Amino acid sequence: MTSTSTTAERTGSGPGLLAVLVPAILVTVTASDMVNLMLPTIGAGFGASEAELAWVVTGFLLMFSVGIPLYGRVSDRVSLRRLFAFALLTYAAGSLICAISPSLAVLVAGRIVTGIGAAAIPVLSIVAVTTLLPPRRRGAGIGVVSAGAGVGTAAGPALGGGVGQALGWPALFWIMLAVSLLLLFPALRVLPDGTPRGSGRIDLPGGLPLGLGAGLVLFGMTRAQVSGFGEPLSWGSLAAAIVALALFGARTVRVDQPFVPPSLFTNHVYRTGILVAFLAMAVNLGGLVFVPLLLVEVNGLTPGEGALVMIPAGVVTALLSPWIGRLADRVGTRLPVLCGLGLMGLFSLLLSPFAGSSSAAFAGVGILGLSIGFMLVMTTVIGAAAGELPPEQTGAGLGILQGAQFLGAGTGPAAFGVLVSARRQSGGDAVNPLHSGDDGSAYSDVFLAMAAVAVLTLVVASRMRRTGGSGAEAAPVATAAHGANNVQ
């Protein structure tokens, strides 16, 4: 990287940095789910089938899952300023294509372009906080950025249902276009243009099977949600994903400078963090997707009314996330993660008796508890991983971690969607003994399955050692390698 003094002259303050990163991650994460409740309207306008409409979401998520590890790896070699500018411009171009799309095919193409740009923002934001903020402020910084992601995840259905219903679904993409362009010039001002300290070439051929495997997993699960695992395209994609990931592993151990350094996975905290991030995100997105759908399909609310349930969760997580980051710095990793997973399991279980006759406020309480638990988990896991990674592997390590997180965002709702489809086809009462009546029985079983996954994740996380958070342990690493006082 360039010298400390040079970098400091070309970057903004810590608050200025967060003022750019938070809205950037907010709008890009929001984009992943904002069209969900508007899909029936889009389908009616374009005369598209359910399977065709699925590509509006799948196309974005495919690029998101494939791109995050790639951007993380490249950030070890290319300046944050250039990568962030490229991401915002690509995101803006994709939003424009979506806003003016005359057909479903063009809309899907625009979503793919949008996903290419959006994939960079979460991982680059965490890399920027980790490498530019001083150690004493890193936990709070990660918490603030995580709040943006958490609010974006909760706000996606709310924005899509409310604004989409009032102004039409193209308005969603015009808003995203405007925000991304407004963020471009502040980003150029606060982010450094120095070359990172990483050396050597990037093994892009080795990264391709990793991205391909992630994309095929997501595609296979999405197809299974529509047509079941018996469809050749579903199980064939999953089988091809296994082959691609096996090729990635084989190349990783053969080449001198692999796309993902194998030494990353020798750290037990990091390995556990990847699995916890994947499973926790699957449960969280399951709630954020299926609670609004339940309210619309079973309770008879409009998309806008169903989306209002998500707003309290977004507000509360935004307020709590900085405090959670500081808490992890003080008490370590294990306790906040276990408490967060306990909350996720508890509130998933509380959602499971929910039926069409129940008050929507009950669903809002469930989502609120689920979101608080998730923020406890992810803010702490990201901070712990950042503190464990050596400086030359920060981008690659955080890219893999967040790639696992957002792969969980895609596969979780798809897997739970398969369960909903199967329960609808079989008919009958819910398997869940806590649910009574016929209305919403399939959703009740999904929430029970979410609680079971949360408990499984709790067991996995219990093996994490008691370690400091992103503060003390990370200090020597980041300060020595990146000049952590560059942004004060």
Mean pLDDT for all residues in the chain = 78
Task: Give the chain's radius of gyration (CA, Å).
Answer: 21
Sign of the CA dihedral with 11 first, then 14, 19, and 24 last: positive
- The rounded percent of the chain whose pLDDT value lies above 70 is 84
Q: How does residue 484 score in pLDDT terms, banded at 50, 70 and 90?
A: very low
Site of tokens 């979101």: 371
Q: For residue 417, what pLDDT is reported?
A: 81
pLDDT tens digits, one per residue of 182-240: 999 988 888 887 766 555 567 777 778 887 888 788 788 777 776 777 788 888 888 99
| 201, 184, 123, 286 alpha-carbon torsion, rounded to 10° | -140
- The rounded percent of the chain whose pLDDT value lies above 90 is 15
Q: For residue 40, what pLDDT is reported?
A: 80
Q: For residue 475, what pLDDT is reported?
A: 34
pLDDT at 440 over 50: yes
470-479: buried (b, 16+ CB within 10 Å) or exposed (e) per residue?
bbebbbebbe
Q: Which amino acid would we find at residue 258?
A: P
pLDDT at 159 over 80: no
* Under 8 Å between Cβ of 159 and 30: yes
Angle, helices 104-118 vs 120-132, to 10°: value is 10
Of the ranges 20-24, 192-196, 307-311, 425-429, which one carries the lowest mean pLDDT score? 425-429
Q: What is the mean pLDDT of residues 438-453?
A: 83
**Alpha carbon distances (Å) from 125 to 21, 426, 457:** 6, 45, 26
Q: For residue 430, what pLDDT is reported?
A: 64
* Under 8 Å between Cβ of 64 and 32: yes
Sign of the CA dihedral with 158 first, then 163, 166, and 168 last: negative
Which segments within 199-245 are labelled E, that is strand?
none
Q: Which residues contact 420 (CB under 8 A, 6 or more apart)?
A: 290, 442, 443, 445, 446
Rounded Cα distance, 439 and 178, in Å:
41
Which segments within 155-220 are labelled E, that is strand?
none
* Under 8 Å between Cβ of 486 and 11: yes
**Alpha carbon distances (Å) from 221 to 61, 67, 239, 425:** 12, 18, 11, 18
pLDDT tens digits, one per residue of 240-292: 989 988 998 888 888 877 877 787 788 788 888 889 999 998 998 888 888 87
Backbone angles phi, psi at 395, to 5 degrees: -65, -45
DSSP 437: S
Of the ranges 170-174, 190-194, 203-207, 338-342, which one carries the lowest mean pLDDT score? 203-207
Q: Which amino acid would we find at residue 131?
A: T
Q: Which residues contact 102 (CB under 8 A, 6 or more apart)?
A: none
pLDDT tens digits, one per residue of 27-74: 887 777 778 777 888 888 888 776 677 778 778 877 877 788 888 888
Q: For residue 488, what pLDDT is reported?
A: 34
Give the burial class of 233: count Cβ atoms within 10 A of its Cβ; 0-12 exposed, 13-18 middle, 19 or more buried.
middle
* Under 8 Å between Cβ of 181 and 360: no
Whole-angstrom distance between the N-terminal and C-terminal Cα of the chain?
A: 17
Length of the chain: 488
pLDDT tens digits, one per residue of 103-156: 988 999 999 999 899 888 888 888 888 878 777 777 777 777 877 776 776 667
Q: Which residues contact 468 (CB under 8 A, 6 or more apart)?
A: 329, 332, 333, 387
Rounded Cα distance, 28 and 476, in Å:
32
